[in-house]
Structure 1
Amino acid sequence: MYSYEEEQKRLTKLWQEVLSDEDEHYSSQDEESLFGDVYLSDEYQCESSVDSESSSKRTSSKLRKRRHKKHPPKNGEKHQKHPITGNEPSTSATGAKTSSNVSTEAQHVADVIETVIANMTQDSDSDSDETLLPSTTDAATQNANITWGPVTGNNLRQIMFSEANTVGFDPQIHENFHDKTPCEFYSLFVNDDILELMVTNCMLQFFLVTLLLFFEKVVETNRYAAQCLAKNQLRRARITSWHDTTVPEMKKFLGIVLWMGLCQFPTLQAYWSKSPIYKNFITGVMSRNRFQLLSKMLHFSDNSEVTEDRLQKLTPLVLKLKEVFQRIYVPGEYVCIDETLVPFQGRLKFKQYIANKRHKFGIKVFKLCLEGGYTYDFKIYCGKEQTDGGGVPTNVVLNLMKDLLHKGRTLCTDNYYTSVTLAHELLRRETHLIGTLRTNRKFNPKNVITKKLKLGETIAEESNSGIVVQKWKDKRDVLTLSTKYTDEMVTVQRRRGEVCKPKNVIEYNKFKAFIDIADQKKSYNSSLRKTLKWYKKLAIELLTGTAFINAYIAYRDIANEPMSITKFRESVIFGLLQLEEHEQTVTTNDHKLVNLGRKLRRRCVACYSQHSQEMGRKEALKKTPQSMLKCEACDKHYCLECFF
């Protein structure tokens, strides 16, 4: 692909050739306009290589002669105005153009070509960081004057982290929540304010019917449900049985959604099935019809207010969650930015495709994560935005980092975001950058990019602005950028022995894992189900995924009690459903032993439990006797001595 300067030179040269041919042509003929479609359509083409001057003249002359013979102007027929200049072509009746007019219009067309190419170049790659932010003239000057040389470390800036004493959760949260339950930690993030938002915008107070249905008085507590009721034309529709919902009922709704992630059935109706295969306690908590109505009416904004915001249906929820995430936690020195994908295959204008993700189609969410996988901020990608000039990666980073700049932090990004331009922008804001780098980024050192390395070799260069770009050969070339470390090599221990790795690579792997940990924890027992409404799926992801993981991290840090994420989920479910954790909700039959025969013998569970505590599992497997007797109620094997 041609660069901007090469394309401009090529088109200008071709246009000058056209004008030189036209001067010769007008001296003998007067059949066609100077700016007619004949000349533009044949010469204004992108070719694989620039032809020689004689070849271009010869080709354009042949095409013009062929076109003139084939389509001569008819008598009395006027030439159309040119689409660029708006001028009518001159004919023999009006006289030939002078050389001054030709040069004036040539300059005008050259300006038009330059403008078109500039716009085309800007729009062709909006996601890359090839363009600079126009407001940051200092960074633009740095990019233009950048020079590369050997790595000395003299140009690296020493930026001190200024919030080292306040990192972590708010001390007030530590004081008030050190003895709270997991459900109360989850309520800290999904608080009553958010539940009231769901109740107000999802539910309605059922209208009263008076005077034999001729006059209706509607008391509105949920706009969306009221709109659905107003449109309803069926007398026996399920929505006509609606009644007011409350915050406790919405907590039960969230508890059931979380429980469905633990116990996944093939269909939603199977959870309320009377078949013994799907037997569970959920029918005593909420009926199927009520759960489906709540799912249908789930809403977070007013549909009557139409704006240009594509996230209008989720904006109130997103703002409240961000406020909670950022209010109770102060980020440390190292932060990480990366994107994640919420799976969705329905119709959506800003649906994305990422080939290297497990779910390739979905809604892209940019996240800023901290140590342990805590999500501090996030941004939902809604398609190309009107920006001041910077690419999408740079704008995303500056948007997510806006409250964390000028404090000496270090940002870790992958090669989608990292660039020399972004490094200069962050250095101007007292922030370091560490990340992998793409070879085709602008202002990269050519000596490092083109160098061929053998296994274990490395090469690096340092810029006069304090940026180190290093290439290291592992199984493949690894290109990194850092404003904090030099090209120092560190010895690390592997299974097969010691290996020397660049410190930049070690630090990148360490801090880039923040968002990987968050995605890993979120993937356990996911509550997402298929739906046609994108905002409902994204809302469930935020409430039962992102907010839930933050609550789990807060519980482990503040309560200082080790607990697996599955146990934490179970405890939250018990709290939301208002059940006792040791409550027996399913009645069982009377305990009695059944003889199954020698072929179905199993070890006695009571004997095995006793032996394993005394002598360990291996010895217990040898010492525990096998029994043919099985308890129907417990569904376990016992020997006669242990059962009675």
Structure 2
Amino acid sequence: MDFLVIDGKKYTEEQVRELFLNGEDDGDISDTPTIDSNHDSEEEYTIDDDADVAEVDDQAEQVPVDDLDFHASAENSSDSDSSSDLPLSSVGYVYGKNRYKWSKRAPTLGRTRRHNIITHLPGLKAAARNLQDKNPVNYWSLLITDEMISTIVDCTNEKITDLSSTYGETASFVNFTDSVEMKAFFGLLYLTSAFKSNHEDVEGLFASDGTGRDIFRATMSLKRFMFLLVALRFDSISTRSLRKTDKFCHIREIFETFIQNCRNCYTPGESLTIDEMLVGFRGRCSFRVYMKNKPNKYGLKVLCLCDAKTHYLLNAFVYTGKSQNVHPNPRKLSVPTLSVLSLIDPVKNTNRNITADNWFTSIELVEELRKNQLTYVGTVRKNKKEIPQYIVPNKRTEPGTSMFVFTSTITLVSYVPKPNKYVLLLSSMHHDNKVDEGSSKPDMILYYNSTKAGVDALDQKCANYNTGRRTRRWPCAIWYAVMNIASVNSFILFQSGTESSMRRRNFIIQLGQTLIETHMRRRLLEPRLPRELRSVMERLLKCEDTATSESTPSISQPRVSGSDAVSRGKKRRRCYICPSQNDNKHATMCNKCNQHVCKIHSAATLLCEKCQM
């Protein structure tokens, strides 16, 4: 057999032909990571006129074989999963623009790879699993705890102190709040989301002419509701000067506590999604962004980690600028990689898969996730330097064509869904070139399509039942988003814990009613309530006449005490002293014999509050 000697090494003619045919020029396309809030998430790319896999770049012949920089890929890694990495074929290699090495043949698999074996089963964690009462509000209280509400109450009361001088002493609606009233306030916000009334005029909701909703004015007055919207705060104003360097300090403690509570209650499935959510906001904010592909266009960007199947939010952080969100980065990792690494803490070393779009995808990210025993599937931007020209299709490529290249840990595929369009997909979970016979799509594409929409589905659920009201204060916009996510997550916990078929709208209505009930019962004890409003509250609370009258005397009824006092019964009956021909029926009863009596044959003793005590 004849050999060719190149730079002191022997090659057969077949080996030299393979190396030269798959060589490329050293042209470099800039791949500098940027924080572009309006990044292009388009997954299909147009085929260039000069893209032709049948042609060979003449400059490739000028590259000496010895100068090819064989990338030290994961096949040479000493990672804990290296026992699963089996050797690639010794021939048939192609290279990216940065000389990243790919094989045209899939690695040989002898057994199931360890990264495809899930060790932590999905479902409720102890905090949610051990609930005795399966009421929706109890699942919600696991996420928005009493401690969080107490913090909000303290900060709101601090603001009310400042506002009291503005409104004056004559304003009866200006007084301190407490946890009971704050829960009722949140309950009303949830009811507006269930009724699709979050952008409806507040005066219309509280109208008493029959056009409003009785539950709103039965819970609190219109002026009180508006005042709480104005006074609502989430951090101490007096200590804010100590946190000047933190742009998110206005609500960071509440937000991070909520995220931690979400992590403590649920174990996700085997597939997770990382993507961006935009909280709509058009007021003044130094980290407000513009994203043309989102419905709200302007707002606050939240990067989220969600369960791809149930859409449960597991982790999130708010983008507040380059200098604010960048974690310690001694290895000079790209911003998308850092963003993903900051989200994966709840699922590290669990052999789960992360799905994300092309802004996040890179070989660097895949290697970092592999160190944390996680796999990755995502679309790839066509300007990545690791992509070999070998898999870039030309205009003559038939739709439905798939081309694969491999390393020992990564698979890259190009798929042509329609003429002049192609998709690039990278996966560290798949290690073969399987194509679905029915759709002619690679298994990688089908898996990506089934797991890519986790965050978008969560965003859509939040928009369907949105508590957000128009506001110029961005902390309130974040809090409305927290309430929306809490309703979604608590509903998922409720379904997992009870296997109930309750619709989400009914869940939110029941949640709102339960949050309101305690405050409404307390308000029913006020002696100066209008009679019509009292009857509305009794109807909403489904109170018996005896339950309300004995504990809460009406305005027209004097306070009574002693043996001569009368009480009200459930039904109206004839006075047992009056002649039967009178047929006078009354609800008053004697406290001693429990017989129905009329006003003529009964007596009431009036006492002031001091004497009654």
The reply to whether TM is greater than 0.5 is: yes
Q: Which residue of 1 aligns with 2:207?
A: 273
Could you say which residue in structure 2 is the equivalent of 1:546? 485
Aligned to 2:222: 288
SS in 1 for 2:456: helix
Question: Is 1:261 paired with 2:193?
Answer: yes
2:265 is aligned to 328
Paired AA for residue 304 in structure 1: S
Deviations 1:170-208 (A, max 9, x none): 14532324x5111222122112111111111111xxxxx
- Asked if 2 retains the 8 angstrom alpha-carbon contact of 1:281 and 1:586, the reply is no
Q: What is the CA-CA distance between 1:146 and the residue it aligns to? A: 2.9
Contact preservation (8 Å) 1:334, 1:511: yes
Amino acid at match of 2:34: D
Contact 1:280 / 1:586 at 8 angstroms: preserved in 2?
Answer: no
User: CA offset at residue 400 of structure 1?
Assistant: 0.4
Task: Give TM-score scaled by structure 1 length.
Answer: 0.61
Determine if the alignment matches structure 1 residue 405 to structure 2 residue 348: yes
Spell out the pairing of 1:291-440 with structure 2 (5 A cutoff): 291-305=225-239, 306=241, 307=243, 308-370=245-307, 371-385=309-323, 386=326, 388=329, 389-440=332-383
Residue identity matched to 1:262: A
Deviation at 1:277, TM superposition (A): 2.6
CA 1:184–1:582 in 2, change beyond 3 Å: closer, same or farther?
farther
Counterpart amino acid of residue 312 in structure 2: Y
CA drift of 1:162 comes to 6.8
- Preserved contact between residue 459 and residue 472 of structure 1 (Cα < 8 Å): yes
Aligned residue number for residue 532 of structure 1:
472
Which residue is 2:461 aligned to? Answer: 521
Q: Which residue of 2 aligns with 1:563?
A: 502
CA contact (8 A) 2:404 2:433 kept: no
Q: Is the 8 A contact 1:127 1:393 kept in 2?
A: no
Structure-2 separation of matches of 1:324 and 1:381: 20
- Secondary structure, counterpart of 2:115 in structure 1: coil
More helix by share: 1
Q: Which residue of 1 aligns with 2:552?
A: none
Q: Mapping of 1:592-607 within 5 angstroms? A: none
In 1: Cα distance, 2:350 partner to 2:200 partner? 50
Once the two structures are TM-superposed, the CA of residue 444 in structure 1 deviates from its matched residue by 2.1
1:61-101 Cα shifts (integer Å, max 9, x gaps): xxxxxxxxxxxxxxxxxxxxxxxxxxxxxxxxxxxxxxxxx
In the alignment, what sits opposite 1:575?
Answer: 514
User: Does the 8 Å CA contact 1:489/1:500 hold for their aligned counterparts?
Assistant: no
Find the partner of 2:138 among 184, 207, 210. Answer: 184
Determine the C-alpha separation between the residues in 1 that align with 2:432 and 2:292. Answer: 32
Give me the whole-angstrom Cα distance separating, in 2, the residues matched to 1:312 and 1:163: 37
Q: Which residue of 2 aligns with 1:98?
A: none
Distance 2:33 2:257 in 1: 36
Checking the alignment, whether the CA contact within 8 Å between 2:33 and 2:335 is kept in structure 1 is no
Matching of residue 470 in structure 1 with residue 387 in structure 2: no
Is 2:404 the counterpart of 1:460?
Answer: yes
Task: Compare 344-353 and 483-492 and name the one that shifted more.
Answer: 483-492
Q: Is the 8 A contact 1:420 1:442 kept in 2?
A: no
Q: Secondary structure at the match of 2:191?
A: helix
Match of 2:85 in 1: none
Other-structure match for 2:529: none
Counterpart of 1:173 (choices 117, 121, 128) is: 128
CA distance 1:183–1:124, shift in 2 (3 Å): closer
Q: 1:335 and 1:412 mapped to 2: Cα distance?
A: 6
Pair 1:247-2:186 in alignment: no
Q: Which amino acid aligns with 1:341?
A: L
Q: 1:441/1:583 Cα in 2 relative to 1: closer, same or farther (>3 Å)? A: farther
Consecutive unaligned residues in structure 2, runs of 5 or more: 1-29, 40-71, 78-95, 522-535, 543-613
Note the C-alpha offset of 1:335: 1.4
Q: What is the one-letter code of the residue matched to 2:473? A: K
Per-residue CA deviations over 1:327-351 (Å, capped at 9, x if unaligned) read: 1222332211111111111121111
Q: Say what the alpha-carbon RMSD is for the aligned residues.
A: 3.2
Amino acid paired to 2:248:
L
Q: Which moved more, 1:393-402 or 1:278-287?
A: 278-287
Measure how far apart 1:165 and its partner are: 4.5
1:486 to 420, 431, 447: 431
Question: Counterparts of 2:73 and 2:435 in 1: how far apart (Å)?
Answer: 35
Inter-partner Cα distance in structure 2 for 1:122 and 1:478: 19
Sort the Cα spacing of 1:171 and 1:162 in 2 relative to 1 into closer, same or farther, 3 A: farther
Report the Cα offset of residue 583 of structure 1: 7.7
Match of 2:449 among 495, 509, 517: 509
Give the letter aligned to residue 245 of structure 1: T
Of 132, 155, 172, the residue aligned with 1:201 is: 155
Quick one: distance in 2 between partners of 1:175 and 1:166?
17
The offset of 1:449, in angstroms, is 3.3
Deviation of 1:377 (Å):
0.5
SS of the equivalent of 1:176 reads: coil
Say which SS state the counterpart of residue 242 (structure 1) adopts: coil
In 2, Cα distance between equivalents of 1:359 and 1:225: 32
* Count of residues in correspondence between the two structures: 430
Distance 1:298 1:279 in 2: 23
1:125 aligns with 2:40: no
Q: Deviations over 1:488-532 (max 9, x none)?
A: 33436xxxxx32211111111122232233223222221211110
2:49 aligned partner: none
Q: Distance in 2 between matches of 1:555 and 1:256?
A: 21
CA distance in 2 between counterparts of 1:372 and 1:355 reads 27
